[in-house]
Chain A
Amino acid sequence: MRAGATPDDGLPLVIAAAGAGGLRLTAVNPAAAALGLRRGEPLGRVRARLSTPPHVHPADPAADAAAFARLCLWAQRYTPSVVPFGPAEACDGLYLDVTGADHLMGGADKLVADLAARLARAGIPARIAVADTPGAAFALARHGREEMACVPSDETEQILRPLPVEALRCEPAVAVALKRLGLRRIGALLDAPRPPLARRFGEALLLRLDQATGRRPEPLSPISEPVRYGAARGFLDPVGSQEIVVATARRLMAEIAPRLEADGLGARGVRLSLHRVDDVVRALDLGLSEPSRCPDHVARLLQLRLERLGSGLDAGFGFETVRLDVAATGPMPGRQAALDTGPVPPGARIAGLADALRQRFGRPVIRLSPRASHVPERADRIAPWRTESRHTEPWRVERVVLHWPDPDAGIGPRPLVLFDRGEAAEDVIALVAEGPPRRFRWRSRLHRIAHAEGPERIAPEWWRETGIPRDYYVVECESGRRLWLYRDGPNLPERPAAWFVHGLFA
């Protein structure tokens, strides 16, 4: 089972990766398969054989593994025990243990049909088989005749008999040796005397054979369910008052906190769902600047939020269920509580304040952070305010930390207020064509220039767009105000340059 990286547009497409003796195909799409291309073929031979070579993509094993892991998680919609194929199965498929879960979909047949339909909709070609044992299911899915098969309980052995011996998940060398002996089908293997087989090929072949027929059990280790942190409380009598909702949320958080603590995590986002008696669900999302497990903190933020909502939170006839889920977590190492309250790190206290302001006024607290660009309007950005968590997440690969450049270290002066776009200056009169203006009109007021500094030429980012370099001047009006003015390119007779005010100095 594999998902193509590009949409299947009918053109031959292959994926190649370094293998024995150079690049080899690891996957082919149907159009390429129609040309006779097979997995494992050297790419050089393919290029020599075909007049129009297929489109080749390099393999990306990491992305494949990630996509496959996502698929495994998705498959948990059918059953909680999902097992990805191991190395013996070439790691490209998954088992679903549907025992006791198939009736939820109305039987194994309907489950297979539903699975196939959903996979087809997602563009994932798949072969599906349902059998008593994982071994038999693997053999059928890989080497059976139909794309979808559902084997009745007592026919496992009959179905397996005509399949080739590779279907047993044995090593390729063993399969080749078996074929040399004339044992091409599993049926022949079943009829053959066991002791010579064990002597010649070892216990592994017989183990696989017995696992396929169900004579010996095959333990599977399903992927673990992603951990969720949440708690809910139902009320016999619907509640409507804000105090009760907040108190309940506080209790729920206190319930969740030990679980978070055991995993060394703190909540970065919390969602409170309020289920009204008339089946309307109100959800409130709280974001936290710093991972927290403190019930009081969550309760206080919630209180602020509810106060801001006021009557916007329509309680109707009351809420019958209050549910608190941790929507996002962050690492939060345990901190030893000191006997005295001690100095709380200032970042933690400010995080509490930032969260409170955000819940109260509905706007996040922000800060300015530098960006790697020399174009003035792109050289800073607004980022949500967060505590520096670099030391608490040592495993996370941090991006390069940018610093604000030293204002005295070479770059020209920068204004205190920068407009998003330059505002046009009109009626510009300059003494020399290439020089700074003597006076101009901006915001319907005439500005006479007493002093000008510049130009500082700032070119557009060459990797982004082609544009005209701007010539920046710091001009001081006769009133003493200083403005940042730029001319849009050189002043040519056929194209008089336009002037713009881009910023104000303090």
Chain B
Amino acid sequence: MKPSRDEPEERPPSPAERIAALRVRLDAERRPDVGGVLPFGVADLDVRLPGGGLGLGLLHEIAPEGAGDEASALGFVLALVARHLARAAGDALLVVAPGHPIPYGHGLVGLGLDPGRLLLLEAEADAAVFGALEDTLRAGQLAAVAGLVADGLPLKPGRRLQLAAGSFGTAPPLLLILRPFRAALPNGAATRWRIAAGGAARDRFGCTLRPRWRARLDRCRNGRPGDWLLEWDHAAHRFDLPDGLARRAPDACGGYAG
């Protein structure tokens, strides 16, 4: 068919226009599928995540960097839960598989998480962890759910959890899975983190001020991976990058001491 002569303006778009159109498309894709996000409050980190934070109603997998970093990874998970609980009403559920410790109440308070808002369930096995998480997500009554699994998160439970979490449109919960450092399995997680201890921030007298973690974003759907040295402020429920005046200089992209 011959093109009509009434449309002489049919010309290729200029590079600027194309970039603008691509930006719009990219922004649309970057927005998480459901619900809102939990921003870290660290600009450098949030720009790399789609929508500017951890997507709520999406599955996030967190693992320790190496043997011995388990407590740090648990601390990172609970700090995320504490940050979400500080911003949203409701309680959180922590389902614990054998092999993971039950956190210490006073330590939770020290991380800024009120133990009265944390429900705990000791599961017999990973299957029970996934079952309990799925039931809880389907009940849709908690602000955050986190599972501590012993053998990693396989593909099928990951998909089921993702479906259960995404089935609630209005206020999807924060969904976190903490797995051991070895069991890296393919699954449908939106982000995958590896956490190592970062040495505490200290005041000028040498006293511990805040915990620090070396957080590496291994994989991020619609985002860019990266790594950071993150500091956790338990009173303000806020993550921070250590400032240059701290005793330990930040080496945000440096190597790992683990």
Known: A476-B200, A481-B197. A506 touches B111 (CB 8 A): yes
Residues of chain A within 8 A (CB-CB) of B115 are 367-370, 380, 404
Q: List 24 A-B contacts (CB under 8 A).
A: A349-B141, A350-B91, A350-B141, A353-B136, A360-B131, A363-B121, A367-B118, A369-B105, A370-B115, A404-B105, A407-B110, A414-B104, A414-B107, A416-B74, A416-B111, A417-B107, A418-B104, A418-B107, A453-B207, A479-B197, A481-B71, A482-B197, A503-B107, A506-B213
Known: A346-B91, A346-B141, A453-B207. A407 touches B102 (CB 8 A): no
Residues of chain B within 8 A (CB-CB) of A414 are 104, 106-107, 109-110
Known: A366-B122, A408-B235. A480 touches B257 (CB 8 A): yes
User: Which of A349, A367, A382, A407 interacts with B116 by CB under 8 Å?
Assistant: A367
CB–CB B135/A360 < 8 A: yes
Q: Within 8 Å of chain B (Cβ to Cβ): is A415? A: yes
Would you list which residues of chain B between 99 and 132 have a CB under 8 Å from chain A?
101-111, 114-116, 118-124, 128, 131-132
Taken together as a complex, chains A and B put the C-alpha atoms of A479 and B207 apart, in Å, by 18
Most chain B beta-carbon neighbours within 10 Å: one of A349, A365, A368: A368
Residues of chain B within 8 A (CB-CB) of A105 are none
Taken together as a complex, chains A and B put the C-alpha atoms of A352 and B76 apart, in Å, by 29
By beta carbon, the residue of chain B nearest A381 is B105
Q: Shortest CB–CB separation between residue B123 and chain A, in angstroms?
A: 6
Residues of chain A within 8 A (CB-CB) of B139 are 349, 352-353, 356
Taken together as a complex, chains A and B put the C-alpha atoms of A353 and B135 apart, in Å, by 8
CB–CB A356/B135 < 8 A: yes
User: Which of A354, A416, A474 interacts with B208 by CB under 8 Å?
Assistant: A474
- Secondary structure at the A interface, as helix, strand, loop or mixed, is mixed
CB–CB A363/B91 < 8 A: no
Q: Shortest CB–CB separation between residue A305 and chain B, in angstroms?
A: 14
CB–CB A368/B119 < 8 A: no
Point out residues on A near B: beta carbons under 8 Å. Answer: 346, 349-350, 352-354, 356-357, 360-363, 365-370, 376, 379-380, 382, 385, 404-408, 413-418, 445, 450-451, 453, 474, 476, 478-482, 503-506
CB–CB B71/A407 < 8 A: no
Would you list which residues of chain B between 219 and 239 have a CB under 8 Å from chain A?
232, 234-235
User: Which of B68, B111, B135, B200 interacts with A445 by CB under 8 Å?
Assistant: B68
User: Which of A376, A406, A408, A479 interacts with B68 by CB under 8 Å?
Assistant: A479
Query: In the complex, given contacts A416-B110, A451-B206, what are 15 additional A-B residue pairs having Cβ atoms less than 8 angstroms apart?
Result: A353-B139, A356-B139, A357-B135, A357-B136, A361-B121, A361-B123, A365-B121, A368-B102, A370-B106, A385-B120, A404-B114, A474-B208, A479-B68, A506-B211, A506-B213
